[in-house]
Amino acid sequence: MRNADAGTVAELVQRQWGDHRVGLRDHGLALSHHQVAAGAAARAALLVDLVPRGAEPHFGVLLDNAPEFPLWLSAAALAGAAVAGINPTRRGPELARDILHTDCRVLVTERAHLPLLDGLDLPGVRVLVTDTDAYAELLAPYAAAEPGEATLGPVGPGSRLLLYFTSGSTGAPKAAICSQGRLAAAGASLVKHFGVREDDVHYICMPMFHGNAVIADWAPALAGGAGVALSRRFSASGFLDDVRTYRATYFTYVGRAVQYLLATPERHDDRSHCLRLGFGTEAGAVDAARFEARFGTRLVEGYGSSEGGAAIQRTPGTPAGAIGRAGPGDDLAVVDPGTGEERAPAVLDPGGRLVNGAEAIGELVNRGRSPFEGYWRHPAADAARTRGGWYWTGDLFFRDAEGFLYFAGRGDDRLRVDSENLAAAMIENILARWPDAAGVAVYAVPDPVAGDQVMAALALREGVSAFDAAGFSEFLAAQADLGTKMAPRFVRVLRQLPVTATNKIHRVALRREGFGGGAAFHEGFGADEVWWAEPGGSGYRPLTGADRAALLTEYREHGRENQL
């Protein structure tokens, strides 16, 4: 196993120079580690010439998982620049806002994503389209560059390398900062934890604009001298074929990816591959066990805030349903968000159901040293995240008497849908345009398998007697800025929205009631109408008693009934 320790990611890229083993694989392409380092050096030199003097050394990458993505990550490290991962599910002004907020003066994209940029006002942003002759001609003069020759300034452990977006309760996504030193340390830690070898192949099928793919997959491969293989986008049907083709040994996942893999037809050769480990979040104990039984590959569940402030890893002996205990160096506690006092230990019945949720559930905080490096140009969010000297995750947990931590939901108005962090306020702003709505509140309800689903509570305006499901579907389809994960799965139609004494929407009450009517998920939904977009269906239809029973069964099968 290679010595993975390095002070910067730039050092790790420079180590690839002269290594002629295959380092980067894509369908129809294989580059050696040396070629990756050479390609990164060329792009770093080009970047130095393109970024105006005095500008922030930032550029955006709006790409699928194409070879250009890791090449530009490596180039950023060499040049002392920072990459803003631009999410292609964002639309219109919100997409433009992400690019401009992070002070990108260059945007690297591909022809497939050019329609997303149509009509956007991006002053001062140079767009490079990687799969064009013009791009090849622009890059050609820099082919002889070597690592370390061209930089935008001093390169050290504190140099910004990643600006990746995470959502919170304030509306617009915030760009979390990750330095070269933190990313290099994260890669080295995973190399040691999982025993990454030089002959390993890390399969990257999660989107590289997301921290999971870069921090938990690309970084340990780079630190351990392993190869990287790419899937442009996650494909459940193509996963096993890719794993075999690339002889992949390791992959990462988030959200429902594991469930999608388990939903593929079983094959006689499901265990015929080299894959030995998957590392990620939100698969759940039930599906992790099913995955290992079917594919013979162990899944290691972990929890880590996108900003790096707290981490939990599942270890042998972790009870079913638990995430694990605190990671090395963390002092994690579950506290009352208002007072900071620790919550009572969880009491679980013989079936594992939490019986004292009111006393046990609180916000997870890290009271120890936190590697959180802040948000780009958002001091108020920095202060809120680190108030009182603690790192506040914004996520709800409970903790049993043995110290094992259990995820209980997202705090405030956060939602995590298919591994995407969303802010309820942004979805509300879009839904509020619907002419029939007098009021809108968006909140998370637990997904039966992993993460959340979007619930929209709608109060109809005076004179509208009934919810127009077809009209609502047509309205959603016409909203250009409604991202692919934002459309509500459930719509709860209310006579009026609950409010607090100060006339604010009573979000706590809505989240507590979930699907409607207090504890009515087990007893019926009360008088409120609930509609839903059934997976695989078309449009919205009423949620029936049979639908509720089927959903409850699904929650129980995946060990998530506690979250209702």
pLDDT digits (tens, 9 = 90+) for 154-165: 999 999 999 999
Exposed / middle / buried, residue 506 (Cβ in 10 Å: 0-12, 13-18, 19+): middle
If one compares 168 and 377, the residue with the highest pLDDT of the two is: 377
98: nearest Cα among 152, 59, 126: 59
User: CA-to-CA distance for 173 and 150, rounded, in angstroms?
Assistant: 32
- Which residue is it, tokens 């190399």? 191
Phi and psi at 234, nearest 5°, equal -65, 130
- State CA 491 to chain mean position distance: 25
| DSSP single-letter state for residue 214 | I
pLDDT at residue number 413: 64
510 confidence band (pLDDT: 50, 70, 90): confident
What's the pTM? 0.81
pLDDT single digits (tens) 463-483: 898 999 999 999 999 987 788
Please report the pLDDT score of residue 286 as a whole number: 73
Strand partners, 413: none
- Distances 31 to 3, 25, 37, 161 between C-alpha atoms, Å: 22, 7, 10, 23
Radius of gyration of the chain (CA): 24
Q: What element of type H or E holds 303?
A: strand 298-304
202-235: pLDDT as tens digits = 999 999 998 889 999 999 999 999 999 999 999 9
Helical segments of 140-272, H only: 180-194, 211-213, 219-224, 236-246, 257-262
Pairing of strands 58-62, 82-85: parallel
- The whole-number average pLDDT for the span 485-490 is 92
Average pLDDT over residues 400-415: 80
What contacts 262, CB < 8 A, 6 or more positions away?
287, 290, 291, 294
pLDDT band at residue 525 using 50, 70 and 90 as cut-offs: very low
- What is the rounded CA–CA span in Å between residue 72 and residue 78? 10
Residue 310 has pLDDT above 70, yes or no: yes
> Angle at Cα 184 formed by Cα 383 and Cα 204, nearest 5°?
100
Question: Where is pLDDT greater, at 457 or 351?
Answer: 457
**E-strand stretches of 346-436:** 362-366, 391-399, 405-410, 414-417, 420-423
> What is residue 421's predicted lDDT score, i.e. its pLDDT?
60
- pLDDT of 12 reads 98
Q: Residue 455's pLDDT is what?
A: 92
Worst-scoring range by mean pLDDT, 148-157, 296-305, 477-486, 522-531? 522-531
pLDDT (0 to 100) of residue 423: 67
Q: Look at residue 501 and tell me whether its pLDDT is greater than 90.
A: no
3-state secondary structure 55-78: CCCEEEEECCCCCHHHHHHHHHHH
What average pLDDT score do residues 437-454 get?
88
Q: Do residues 319 and 403 make contact, with C-beta atoms less than 8 angstroms apart?
A: no
Please tell me which residue, 304 or 19, carries the higher pLDDT value: 19
Write down the mean pLDDT value for the chain: 89
Express each pLDDT in 271-300 by its tens digit. 999 999 999 887 777 788 889 999 999 998
Task: Provide the H-helix boundaries in 102-253.
Answer: 114-117, 133-139, 180-194, 211-213, 219-224, 236-246
Domains in the chain: ranges and CATH:
9-179 (3.40.50.980), 325-410 (2.30.38.10), 414-563 (3.30.300.30)
pLDDT tens string 246-279: 999 999 998 778 878 988 999 999 999 999 999 9
Q: What is the H or E stretch that residue 106 is in?
A: strand 106-109
Query: Token pair of 114, please?
Result: 């050019």
- More reliable by pLDDT, 319 or 225: 225
Contacts of 429 (CB under 8 A, 6+ apart): none
Let me know: does 120 contact 96? Beta carbons within 8 Å. Answer: yes
Sheet holding 227-230, edge to edge: 29-32, 22-26, 227-230, 201-204, 250-253, 277-280, 298-304, 311-313, 325-326
Predicted confidence (pLDDT) at residue 562 exceeds the cutoff of 60 = yes
Q: What is the pLDDT of residue 1?
A: 65
Judge whether residue 521 has pLDDT over 70. no
C-alpha–C-alpha distance, residues 74 and 223, integer Å: 12
Tell me what pLDDT residue 502 has: 40
pLDDT at 412: 65
Q: How far is CA 250 from the centre of its chain?
A: 19
Pairwise CA distance, residues 524 & 541, whole Å: 16
pLDDT at 523 over 70: no
Residue pair 374/382 in contact by the 8 Å Cβ criterion: yes
25-36 confidence digits (pLDDT tens): 999 899 999 999
Position 494 pLDDT exceeds 60: yes
